[in-house]
Structure 1
Amino acid sequence: MPTWYDMTRYSLLDLVPVVEGGTVGQALANAADLARHAESLGFERYWTAEHHGMAGIASAATSVVIGHVAAATSTIRVGAGGIMLPNHAPLAIAEQFGTLDALFPGRIDLGLGRAPGSDQIVARAMRRNLDSDANAFPQDVLELQSYFADDGQTGIRATPGAGANVSLWILGSSTFGAQLAAMLGLPYAFASHFAPDALMAAIEMYRRTFRPSAALARPHVMAGFNVFAADNDAEAELLASSQQQAFVALRTGNPRQLPPPVAGYRESLGAQGAAILDHVLSCSAVGGPAKVARDIAAFVARTGVDELMIASSIYDHAARKHSLTLTANALREPALAA
């Protein structure tokens, strides 16, 4: 009988972190190198996400970064996890991703979200006004599908874009996205790596209400999961402190570049602060190979997800690559999880 490690795919989410003392150029070079490494390890796809006005994230021009990474790799799927569609006209996204598909045929994913990917001030600068209807997201997705299908419903032919073989996904951190993905018969990705609360409810709703489509015959669920792997548990805890610091800075309104690790950071927050951090980042594995393998196995057993989207912002690039190697080994070697 197949077990989780036979069936679960694994992919990589990279926010292209700009580290303290580093540059955007260095972050983008690291992104290409990390994607090549993930490709060599058998990762299914590499995604980056649209964020704006954040000093520590270099993926704001998401389609440009995707082209950069796709050009540096050869087989791994490359895409957006995601594009925040309310920030854009669907036609512009059809043209961008139609171009990417023409350059890298059969390798481009397009995950769609409805969050702004920024604060309200930056969102206004992106959109020029905030008068658009937040409930228009489903209609925008349908319009985008129409451009790719070249079905004539919009009266406009996207060039590039018409007939493009772009894999569409719906992203979410609530049941809203789950309902939409199920209705449209599209794969669904849940942002449990930072918003875990509605994970199980969203998965249940998506699977229960899924309608097969030309794009997808059966429901396919991906869930975000943080992994900080090192040769031992103590080293992994230290590596994880960089993302913990960045997350606290973001939630307190002071986004920053990814800081170097700090020993004992979690404990320095006090019991209440540490509990909040532990809850938000509860979908995580932090430790040596055996602990990471056990925690991944437990998460997959609990959720039954079809695919894991591994996330981890680690200050040192070499340590991040090593973490990916250990993660891939844990996913391929079930004996580690015993």
Structure 2
Amino acid sequence: MRYSLLDLAPIPEGSDAAQAMRNSVALARAAEALGFHRYWLAEHHNMPGIASSATAVMIGHIASATRSMRIGAGGIMLPNHAPLVIAEQFGTLATIHGDRIDLGLGRAPGTDMATARALRRNMAAQDTFPQDVTELMAYLDDPEPDQRLHAIPGEGTKVPVWILGSSLYGAQLAAHLGLPYAFASHFAPDALGQAVEVYRRGFQRSKTLEKPYFMMAMNIFAADDAKEAVRLKTSMQQSFIRLSSGKAGRLPAPVDRIEDVADPRWIAAVNDALSVSATGTTQMVRDQTKALIDRYQPDEVMISGQIHDPAARIRSFEIAAEVMAGLVLDN
């Protein structure tokens, strides 16, 4: 079982986007040394606390700073883009960096509707996501003899495509197309169990994948002291609460007690959203992570964790890698 890392290139309070990008490079280099299989970045727009809006550019930056770890998108929000443009972007990345690039595709806008319109997203009611996915995959495949449109660079690179989702829709599409599937359980866990079942039961073998391949996303907030791990988690809790209440900003500094800065109803809601998480010391994180793995049986675990202090974030992922390596050996 592989373990990977999801980075949103967070911009902490008191810092800026340039420093966030330097932090991501440092984290990626540490992750590669720690044995993480993939390093994914996510597309978000109009978010003061996220520096990965130009996702393909950031992927190229991180790929240039690493050597062997797979680098990719988790994901590109395809309805924001023309499939040909994404094929050219990721075909260029694959041409430069070889077989290290992943392309995860999501159906959501990754932002608010006003920003989606500014991105020139087609706001028609008709859902063309399945057609857009197959069109994009065709651009990345070997060209047909009578093909008129070509992604150059892109065609023939066969960049691996994933379907990302937080509902049954993505599970059904990934199963139908025979693609690997990643579920966003790190912030939207409600349909996790059902989506896994739908995906595995409905999977149809394709030329790229013989059997279903499921990735479970989770958060890990780890430290050498349990109380400190709980404190580190409060940055992400505050960020979710602010975003949900229309007050998005940079990643807040942690607090000793989340109860001192947030309404109990908001705390309950954010704790539900972050329920697929592990928090605490190495042993605590191991026990919580093992329980999730035993329950959902993922082929791969994608680990996230929005932590304000860059050094504490690296330390948390160090503990996560130690835990995951141990669980892999145990199996």
* TM-score when normalising by structure 1: 0.94
Trace 1:76-95 onto structure 2 (pairs within 5 A): 76-95=69-88
**Alpha-carbon distance, 1:268 to partner:** 4.5
**Alpha-carbon distance, 1:267 to partner:** 5.8
**Alpha-carbon distance, 1:129 to partner:** 5.1
Name the structure 2 match of 1:49. 42
CA distance in 2, matches of 1:261, 1:188: 33
Sequence identity percentage: 53
Q: Does 2:148 correspond to 1:158?
A: no
Trace 1:177-188 onto structure 2 (pairs within 5 A): 177-188=170-181
Q: Does 2:138 correspond to 1:146?
A: yes
Trace 1:32-111 onto structure 2 (pairs within 5 A): 32-111=25-104
Show structure 2 runs of 5+ residues with no match: none
Aligned letter for 2:142? D
**Alpha-carbon distance, 1:151 to partner:** 3.3
CA distance in 2, matches of 1:322, 1:95: 36
Report how many residues are paired.
Answer: 329
Q: Does 2:232 correspond to 1:239?
A: yes
Moved more, 267-276 or 205-214: 267-276
Secondary structure at 2:22 match in 1: helix
CA distance in 1, matches of 2:131, 2:327: 43
**Alpha-carbon distance, 1:223 to partner:** 1.2
Trace 1:1-338 onto structure 2 (pairs within 5 A): 8-127=1-120, 130-131=123-124, 133=126, 135-152=127-144, 155-266=148-259, 268-334=261-327
Structure 1 residues 34, 244: closer, same or farther in 2, change over 3 A? Answer: same
Aligned letter for 1:260? A
CA distance in 1, matches of 2:300, 2:279: 19
**Alpha-carbon distance, 1:270 to partner:** 4.4
**Alpha-carbon distance, 1:277 to partner:** 1.7
Structure 1 residues 303, 335: closer, same or farther in 2, change over 3 A? Answer: closer
| Residues 42 and 74, structure 2, Cα contact 8 Å, conserved in 1 | yes
**Alpha-carbon distance, 1:131 to partner:** 2.7
Secondary structure at 2:218 match in 1: strand
Structure 1 residues 149, 336: closer, same or farther in 2, change over 3 A? Answer: closer
Secondary structure at 2:128 match in 1: helix
**Alpha-carbon distance, 1:132 to partner:** 6.4
CA distance in 1, matches of 2:33, 2:113: 40
Moved more, 55-64 or 23-32: 23-32
**Alpha-carbon distance, 1:308 to partner:** 0.7
Q: CA RMSD in A?
A: 1.6
Structure 1 residues 92, 276: closer, same or farther in 2, change over 3 A? Answer: same
Secondary structure at 1:54 match in 2: coil
| Residues 294 and 336, structure 1, Cα contact 8 Å, conserved in 2 | no
Aligned letter for 1:325? E
* TM-score when normalising by structure 2: 0.96
CA distance in 2, matches of 1:334, 1:158: 41
| Residues 182 and 214, structure 2, Cα contact 8 Å, conserved in 1 | yes
Show structure 1 runs of 5+ residues with no match: 1-7
CA distance in 2, matches of 1:316, 1:276: 25
**Moved runs in structure 1, 4+ residues, more than 6 A?**
none
CA distance in 2, matches of 1:46, 1:82: 11
